[in-house]
Amino acid sequence: MASGDYEIVPGERRIDRRRVLQWGALGLASALLPVRGFAATRESSITERALSFHNIHTGEDLDVVYWVRGQYRDRALAKINHILRDHRTGEVKAIDPRLLDLVHALGQALHDRGPFHVISGYRSPKTNAFLRATGHGVAAKSLHLRGQAVDVRLPGCALPVLHRAAVALKGGGVGYYPGPNFIHVDVGRVRYW
């Protein structure tokens, strides 16, 4: 019999150390599965994804179902692109659907509190250059320029709670800005500041 095998003799079991370790690892993994399994089942059973935004600069509100049964809805995406436009120039850019899914997941993690108050969505090159020149500390190659970042707050949700929930998702970059009271989320590489 090879090392690591076990032999079952009627009325007796012989188990080696390797098998015990394998079973222990399997037991530990299965103890973690119900939580992850439930989350995966819950997400896979969702047939719609909706978002709610309030643009603090324009006063506009939007409640929209943007995804139904695995398909993004073009008209809904156009409405989201509009509300997340550069409020200084009026320029509209397509927002990356992965960002919408990330914001949706953030809302789900916080039990659908909303609407998200938008401080900054898409940012045109002109606006980004202006903010850099006036010392607002924005990145030269900000993901806002590509429609892959949004700065938000969530009334009724303490900023540290919102921040922790965004970090826990590990969906991209998360910035914490307690002074102006918002967080930044993007779909770039996972990083925190």
CB 66 within 8 A of CB 36: no
Q: Which of 67, 103, 70, 109 is nearest to 84 (CA)?
A: 103
Model confidence, pTM: 0.76
Q: Which helix (H) or strand (E) holds 162?
A: helix 159-169
What are 44-88's pLDDT values in tens digits? 567 999 999 999 999 999 999 999 999 999 999 999 999 999 999
What are 92-139's pLDDT values in tens digits? 999 999 999 999 999 999 997 789 999 999 999 999 999 989 887 788
Taking the domain 46-192, which CATH number applies? 3.30.1380.10
In single-letter form, the type of residue at position 27 comes to G
Sorted by sequence, the CB contacts under 8 Å of residue 169 that are 6+ apart come out as: 102, 105, 106, 109
Long-range contacts of 65-70 (CB under 8 A, 24+ apart): 66/100, 67/97, 67/100, 67/101, 67/104
Q: Which helix (H) or strand (E) holds 113?
A: none
**Boundaries of every domain in the chain:** 7-44, 46-192
What are 142-192's pLDDT values in tens digits? 999 999 999 999 999 999 999 999 999 999 999 999 999 999 999 999 999
Structure tokens at 51: 């978002």
- Give the integer Cα–Cα distance in Å for 30 and 114: 35
